[in-house]
Amino acid sequence: MDILVIGSGGREHAIVRKLKESPKVGKLYCVPGNGGIARDAICGPVGAMDKEGVLAFAREHKVDFVFVAPDDPLAAGMVDFLEEAGFPCFGPNAKAAEIESSKVFSKNLMKKYGIPTAAYEVFQGREAALAYIRQQGKYPVVIKADGLALGKGVIIAQDEGEAADALRSMMEDKVFGESGARVVVEEFLTGPEVTVLAFTDGEALCPMASSMDHKQAYDGDKGPNTGGMGTISPNPAYTEEAARRCMEEIFLPTVKAMNAEGRKFKGCLYFGLMLTPEGPKVIEYNSRFGDPEAQVVLPRLETDLVDIITAVAEERLGKIHIKWSGKASACVVMASGGYPGSYPKGLEITGLDGNGQAAGMPGVTVYHAGTRWEDGKFYTNGGRVLGLTALGDTLEDALQAAYEAVGRVAFDGAMYRRDIGRRKL
Ligand code: AMP
Ligand code: GLY
């Protein structure tokens, strides 16, 4: 099978690497890809949101299957468009992808079907939202932009002043664009956070190995939210009991709820969960693999990914058995100085490949998130630049190897967290 992956980040690199292991894969393409992905797949200058461009590329290269990885093209109906043109895809259609692209939709879905989540109200106007927050008088309070905001549209306000600022920047200054036209104001929950990705074909649901993201930019979970600064898998807080409850109270009810709404979800469903004192609750859904969750979960997958994605597309996931390695994995993201704010691009990266450098270390994989390859060198080309990932017999081993790899790589202003996997649960 010749497969086309859509996207250009570390997640897409992890997907490409896993597909490359499959004996069933012929040619592997990725658009637009990046400097590192181009080592593993044939990349092309087609934007992830360019439906006509992607279709033309798929036709020109006669690909057999398309894996749509990022949220925006899913929300924009890339899968609907390609399937209509006869290309089988991995990923939900636009109606199903709304579980991520509208927080208002997903919150209302959970309320309607009794899926545990934080209590909330939806607001279109800043004054009404602020009046509600004042009347509740409970801080911190969580304010979320309705639409997609690169994982950054969530503000945890510690007092009324911060809440007022957050509402102003989302609803008046429109820092997240139209995503902030409506906001969800919700109760602040506490407890360890767990990400569980799951394959589903709309009937069967197979949870993947659990993971933990580190969303804040700086050590000690301080600073602004980012797309994710590092991950570990498995998540030590995710006990068998928690897994059982999540399956019963959250995962299966979500699949059923989407069917009942006429929005059958096929692809990878991302559950962002909090294990609160009252039990597991949903913090957010995503309609795709997490980034950098994919970078720690996929290396632990022992079943051929091609078998899984074709089973999902053909709605026979219930017939296959998926195996996971007992090893642990860790990913440390190296980002550009200034991320998630503004940052420079085009800085030379050293220490990646060659003798004794990061990519050659046993058990280590370097996933490229924002890099460009030119004249024999890699240059930075995005906020998150690299995800240095390692497998180990224990989480400690994996972390040690991932950080050793980080130590071998350098570019000016490189920023990374030193405490991935060290959170007290
Ligand atoms: P989200 O983009 O919805 O995942 O939110 C980003 C981060 O904000 C989450 O990973 C949580 O750490 C935090 N967060 C979101 N909602 C809540 C909540 N209701 N209570 C506490 N923390 C939250
Ligand atoms: N790492 C969180 C996300 O992909 O949304």
**Ligand 1 and 206: CB distance under 6 A:** no
Helix crossing, 10-20 with 305-313: angle to 10°?
100
**Ligand 1 and 98: CB distance under 6 A:** no
pLDDT value of position 224:
86
The closest-lying atom of ligand 2 relative to the alpha carbon of residue 284 is 5
- Cα(226) to centroid of ligand 2, in Å? 9
Query: 323: exposed, middle or buried (C-beta count within 10 Å: 0-12, 13-18, 19+)?
Result: exposed
- What is the CB < 6 Å shell around ligand 2? 151, 213, 227-228, 286, 290-291, 293
pTM of the model: 0.95
**Percent of the chain having pLDDT more than 70?**
99
Q: Whose CA is nearest to atom 7 of ligand 1?
A: 154
pLDDT in tens, 75-85: 999 999 999 99
- The closest ligand to the CA of 193 turns out to be 1
pLDDT value of position 153:
80
Whether 172 shows a pLDDT value over 70: the answer reads: yes
Q: Can you tell me the mean pLDDT for 321-330? A: 98
pLDDT value of position 7:
98
Averaged pLDDT score across all residues of the chain: 95
pLDDT in tens, 329-382: 999 999 999 999 999 999 999 999 877 788 889 999 999 999 999 999 999 999
Q: Can you tell me the mean pLDDT for 136-146? A: 93
pLDDT-based confidence at 151, cuts 50/70/90? low
The token pair that represents 345 in the structure block: 């691009």
DSSP per position, 213-228: E--EEEGGGEEEE-S-
Rg (CA), the chain: 21
> Given 3.30.700.30, 1.10.1740.10, 3.40.50.20, 3.30.70.141, which CATH number is that of 3-93?
3.40.50.20
Q: Can you tell me the mean pLDDT for 74-101? A: 97
Judged by average pLDDT, the poorest of 149-153, 196-200, 213-217, 283-287 is: 149-153
pLDDT-based confidence at 146, cuts 50/70/90? confident
Q: Rounded CA gap, 412 and 336, in Å?
A: 8
Instruction: Give the residue, out of 283, 284, 423, with the most ligand 1 atoms within 8 A of its beta carbon, to mutate for a pocket test.
Output: 283
pLDDT value of position 140:
97
Instruction: Give the residue, out of 293, 295, 296, 332, with the most ligand 2 atoms within 8 A of its beta carbon, to mutate for a pocket test.
Output: 293
Q: Whose CA is nearest to atom 5 of ligand 2?
A: 290
Fold of 193-319: D-amino Acid Aminotransferase; Chain A, domain 1 (3.30.470)
Boundaries of every domain in the chain: 3-93, 125-181, 193-319, 328-407
Q: Rounded CA gap, 421 and 423, in Å?
A: 6
Q: Whose CA is nearest to atom 4 of ligand 2?
A: 290
pLDDT value of position 355:
72
Whether 147 shows a pLDDT value over 90: the answer reads: no
- Cα(141) to centroid of ligand 1, in Å? 10
pLDDT in tens, 4-36: 999 999 999 999 999 999 999 999 999 999 999
Whether 152 shows a pLDDT value over 70: the answer reads: no
pLDDT in tens, 241-299: 999 999 999 999 999 999 999 999 999 999 999 999 999 999 999 999 999 999 999 99
Fold of 328-407: Glycinamide Ribonucleotide Synthetase; Chain A, domain 4 (3.90.600)
Superfamily covering domain 125-181:
ATP-grasp fold, A domain (3.30.1490.20)
Q: Rounded CA gap, 114 and 297, in Å?
A: 29
Higher local confidence (pLDDT), 103 or 213: 213
- Cα(341) to centroid of ligand 1, in Å? 19
- Partners of residue 205 on adjacent β-strands: 200
